[in-house]
Chains A and B, each alone.
Chain A
Amino acid sequence: MSDALARVLAARPRSEKQQVRRAALYAALVAVASVALLALSGWFLTAAALAAGAGTALAFNYMLPSAAIRLFAIVRTGARYGERLASHDAALSAIARVRPALFAALAATPVARALSLSTGAASTRLVQDAGAVETALVLRSGTVGGAAAILSGLALVALAGPLAVLGVMGVAALLMAVSWALSRQLEDSGRAVLREAEWLKAQTAALVEGSAELRCYALEDWAVARIVDGGTALAAAQQRDSDVRAAIEVASPVAIGVGAALALVLAAPHGAAIAALAALAAAMALDGLAPAIRHVTQAHAARAAYARLGALLDEAPPATLPAVSLEPDLVLYGRAIAPPARIALRGVSGSGKTSLVERLVGLRPAIAGEVSLGGVDIALLPASTLRAAFAWLPQDAALLAGTVRDILVLGRADAPEAAVWEALEDAAFADRVRAMPHGLDSWIGDNGASLSGGERRRLALARAYLKPAPWLLLDEPTEGLDTATAQTVIARLDDRLRRHGQGLLIVSHAPLALVLDGEITPASPPAAADHHSVLFVA
């Protein structure tokens, strides 16, 4: 298991540790009580019959065994309930730690790697992989239960002599070995299931996002067929997986039949009562191995999930560099600028303006010698320092799902109400929010689903305004806006820059009615270096 995953799993609070111990204890109690219940019942019946036959029925102590039988019945029930609750509680609480840790790790990985993980893949990590690990954790107590079952069973079989013990032990060892060997196949088949599930999710996400276009090109049936094909491939992988599982499950009844028969025959010299006890104890001991087999099975099946979660968690650097505080002076392609300067980034379509912007906010690897901040080349600065320096309006105006307020607080968590409305006003979006049924608390769907393109952009602009950074970094702030609104937005931007003293770096194809201090044309990056893009699709 990966170190990082092991650390997250091991960072359990005391209550969880207690639950793990409790689950193991209860599992052992269940196993011992099950074995004892049936073995004692068998011995009791046979001994009673023999006593009756021998005419010693009155001397036979029937109170103790019959009370013990009832006690074991109650203990088994209560302990099994306790085991289930404790093991699930512990596993669920562990997974509730793993899930946010995955996101934190994703956010801390090198950006190019983090952004190349598709929504479908990320969702598979969170739901399927975490689910597989959760199941394996739930079954941990099965090992203790299995051990307790086989030990208590063998202790009882020992009454029938060492030969019977050896026989039952051999059957148990064979059962575990066969289960282990079959379980190993689950590693491959389990990996295939996860791979197919991930592919299906990635396909489905891409197709569902483009449903409008699919409609137009009459590709809906084609898209449905693609999704169904993905489902069929998943089903085939699941089939191989469940066939292996069926084979493992089937090993148990065979072992029980053979083990009990062997115990009966080998215990014959010790009399019918002991033989009955030994046969039933052997049967229940082998039956009690089932939880241990399930654990072995799931541990193998979840190995791929463990590995993938571990890989994701391991990629995050253990500690991020601390943000350093620098003067906000920029040197861009050799030109020194400082707030409140207003600079336009120019260049023909596709010349790399947006790439430069994304390098400035640390979403692409910096190019040494291109830009320096506070006298330090940004290639040497931690992303957190860069990000603190720029309030960014992304070209695609991406929004998180949530309310208007949720979206805006990303800019500044502790923003007072007045600052929020000022930002909305400056983005020419305040009237629209006032007209919404719940004002700031109105729900905006996935990536601004209920807003038009221009509305999304203005909301994203207000979010950038709210962030207290020395530089405003606006990528196409008037794209998708009509002329009148665009003029209002630019006029208010002008006013806002004057009030707040922020500097401005702006990318715009449209001519701007804004007084600027100059223009900079980014040098086009070499195609090969920029080849693996991390650009983000709405």
Chain B
Amino acid sequence: MAATTQNARAGAHPVRRGRPTALAVGSAARGSTVLLLGDAVAAILFAAGIAGGVAALARGMPAWPWALLMVVAGSARAAALWGSLRLGSRAAATAKSALRRTAARAALRRPSGSGSVGALLGAVVDEVEAIDGYIARFLPARQAAALAPMIVLAAIALASPVAALILLGTLIPFIGAMVLAGGAAADQSRRQFDALARLSGLFADRVRGLPVILAFQGEARETERLGQAAREVAARTMRVLRVAFLSSASLEFFAALSVALVAVYAGFALLGQLPFHAPEQLDLVRAFFVLALAPEFYAPMRRLAAAYHDRQMAETASARLAALDAAGTPPVGEGLAVVAAPAIVFDHVTIRYPGEDRDAVGDVLIEVRPGEIIALVGPSGSGKSSVLHLLLGLVPAQEGRVTVNGAPLKEIGSVAPFAAWAGQAPVLLAGSIADNIRLGRADAAPAEVAAVAAAVGLEGALTRRVGGLEERLDHRGGGLSGGERRRVALARALLKDAPLLLLDEPTAHLDAAAEAALIAVIARACVGRTVIIATHSTALAAIADRVVDLGAAA
């Protein structure tokens, strides 16, 4: 039943795996491609201008009309290139925005405990950016590379079929070299990306843990560890580049060889010194036109090869993004309407985190009646927080089932829409204390915010601050003590005014007097709500209607 619902949902929002999601915007890059083809046409005009000019001089005629053609053709190339670059970058911006939305959603919905913040940060920012070159440069270059050389070749064939044949001849070994190099490069590129992601994650973690590193005087060792990771990135990058450069060198070689062969052929043909009988009679204007245009035959493919790395970056990144997408996305609530205190039943529930070899919670059996206050107690590690995370849909139940007002949790996904939660590590965003409390309910009036702040005993903290509730916190929580953080979380929970209240250690970090005061606030807040509190405090557990000992249950 649950599986069917999930499949139906997956069908509605298909996740494109393996290939860049942004392929869908390929059409937006088409304009860019057309302009690149225009560039090839302008290149033909430029070659015609220079050939005409030289031939005119050889006949003793003025070269300036042809010089004018060169200037016009050069400017046309510039205009085509300019348009192509601008269209490409705009198409990339559109694609990245769509991809970022998917990645951000997946990062926020991943099961708790999976994936480091550094890695997720890399996914949402760096890996999405890796798509940029693919859309802006690779896609237009690939489409242009299929057509532009043919346009150039046709123009050359009109002037000299033999020169066209020479160019075609150098193309065949070139394609072979490209195919061989491409396969090897993809694998190296993935490993390089992994190494960079690891370095970035390690750096983020060590910056976050800087106070501990400093206090334990581990700076030198951690610097060395980062140095190692940085050198590994450099070594892996060089390995990727060696392969990439080899393929572009083979491209260069054939491009240079084709120019040299055409030049030598045309020279000998003009001198009448060819060792074979040519089926055409070459004159200076045709010969020069062919020579000037020959480099343009390989130019689109060189552009493609230059953008090849963009494609590999994009493919690697999009595979990683798809994995993130697959790991995250627990079912989303279907909007069970709960307005009054709900009943919740845990029926022989077992929770186990991915990759762990023991149950976080084993065989829990609790029947919570509407309006009841339950205290979850038990030794640390007995899974009190896990039970709350289960209700929020952050971890799945391995066995057993949970129902809310009779509806299976698996189908409603999460109690989040009708629950308020105060966790152990409250989110504090850069902004004022009031802004942070207002996360509980965005449309709360300033008076309401002030009321809940007072109710949870934040006055002490506020009077010490110049700006009171409007004082801005920095991203690390700006000097709020452990107890004050819990109070902010509780204030948020009270502000939401939900029929289900989930509290995880709300009185930690408080001394006995402060705890007693806060317990009174919590007791008042519990009226008319179903409440589940995870706590070690016997004083707090005393306000519960029932105490469930998870240590005894396990």
Contact = CB atoms under 8 A, between A and B. Distances in A.
A216 B392 contact: yes
A128 to B, nearest CB: 8
Interface string B514-554: 11000000000000000000001010000000000001000
A254 B77 CA distance: 8
A117 B206 CA distance: 12
Interface residues on A, range: 35 or more
Contacts of A97: 227, 230
Contacts of B385: 452-453
Nearest to B475: A118
A268 B57 contact: yes
B460 interface: yes
Given A449-B113, A483-B536, A46 B58 contact: yes
Contacts of B241: 84-85, 88
Contact of A219 (B238, B284, B419, B439): B439
Contacts of A350: 460-461, 481, 483-484
B397 interface: no
Interface in B270-284: 270-273, 283-284
Nearest to A536: B211
A114 B219 CA distance: 13
Interface in B458-506: 460-461, 464-466, 474-484, 489, 492, 496, 502, 505
Nearest to B215: A361
A398 B108 contact: no
Interface stretch (B148-156, B260-268, B448-456): B260-268
Contact of B257 (A73, A92, A118, A232): A73
Given A48-B271, A238-B89, A349 B121 contact: no
Contact of B260 (A48, A69, A254): A69
Contact of A211 (B112, B417, B508): B112
B86 A246 contact: yes
Contact of A103 (B62, B208, B222): B222
B439 A482 contact: no
Interface stretch (B1-9, B18-26, B175-183, B287-295): B287-295
Interface stretch (B64-72, B341-349, B402-410): B64-72
A348 to B, nearest CB: 6
A48 B274 CA distance: 13
Interface stretch (B94-102, B311-319, B362-370): B94-102
Majority DSSP secondary structure for residues of B touching A: helix
A258 B76 CA distance: 12
B73 A257 contact: yes
B125 A394 contact: no
A482 B201 CA distance: 33
B97 to A, nearest CB: 6
A45 B51 CA distance: 11
A238 B93 contact: yes
A99 B85 contact: no
Contact of B214 (A89, A363, A388): A363
Interface string B219-234: 1011110110011011
A482 B378 CA distance: 6
A253 to B, nearest CB: 4
A232 B99 CA distance: 12
A18 interface: no
B146 interface: no
A92 B236 CA distance: 10
Contacts of B207: 103, 106, 117, 119, 122-123
A217 B440 contact: yes
Contact of A400 (B209, B249, B536): B209
B121 A208 contact: yes
Interface in A251-282: 251-258, 260-262, 264-265, 268, 271-272, 275-276, 279-280
A21 B479 CA distance: 52
A218 interface: yes
A434 B164 CA distance: 74
A445 interface: yes
A530 B479 contact: yes
A136 interface: no
A159 interface: no
Given A107-B214, A123-B204, A231-B100, A437 B357 contact: yes
Nearest to B378: A482
A275 B268 CA distance: 20
Contact of A123 (B73, B200, B223): B200
Interface in A436-452: 436-437, 445-447, 449-452
B379 interface: yes
B237 A92 contact: yes
A519 interface: no
B212 A400 contact: yes
A527 interface: yes
Contact of A100 (B218, B224, B268, B383): B224
Contacts of A85: 241-242, 245
Contact of B89 (A202, A239, A400, A537): A239
Going nearest first, the 10 A-B pairs with the smallest beta carbon separation are A257-B74, A454-B380, A210-B427, A533-B479, A73-B256, A261-B67, A100-B227, A41-B263, A272-B58, A246-B85
Given A52-B270, A447-B208, A481 B482 contact: no
Nearest to B414: A215
Nearest to A78: B249
Interface string A2-19: 000000000000000000
Given A73-B260, A100-B227, A387 B214 contact: yes
A257 B536 contact: no
B389 interface: yes
A177 interface: no
Contacts of A254: 74-75, 78
A2 B222 CA distance: 24
Contacts of A126: 199-200, 203
A107 B216 contact: no
B71 to A, nearest CB: 5
B536 A349 contact: no
Interface stretch (A149-157, A183-191, A220-228): A220-228
A57 to B, nearest CB: 5
A37 interface: yes
A328 B332 CA distance: 58
Contacts of B128: 231
Contacts of A261: 49, 53, 67-68, 70-71, 74
Contacts of A531: 465-466, 479
Given A65-B267, A96-B233, A239-B90, A107 B210 contact: yes
B205 A400 contact: yes
Contacts of A53: 58
A235 B96 contact: yes
Contacts of B264: 66, 69-70
Contacts of B429: 206-207, 210
B81 interface: yes
Contacts of A265: 53, 63-64, 67
Given A88-B238, A214-B108, A254-B78, 10 more contacts: A81-B246, A123-B207, A220-B108, A257-B78, A276-B54, A348-B511, A354-B482, A398-B212, A454-B381, A482-B551
Interface string A55-91: 0010010100110011011101110110011001100
A127 interface: yes
Nearest to A531: B479
Contacts of B97: 228, 231-232, 235
A247 B211 contact: no
A279 B109 contact: no
A337 interface: no
A509 B536 CA distance: 13
Contact of A51 (B242, B259, B271): B271
B416 A216 contact: yes
A384 B219 CA distance: 11
Interface in A155-189: none
Contact of B53 (A107, A222, A279): A279
Contact of B74 (A48, A253, A476): A253
A99 B227 contact: yes
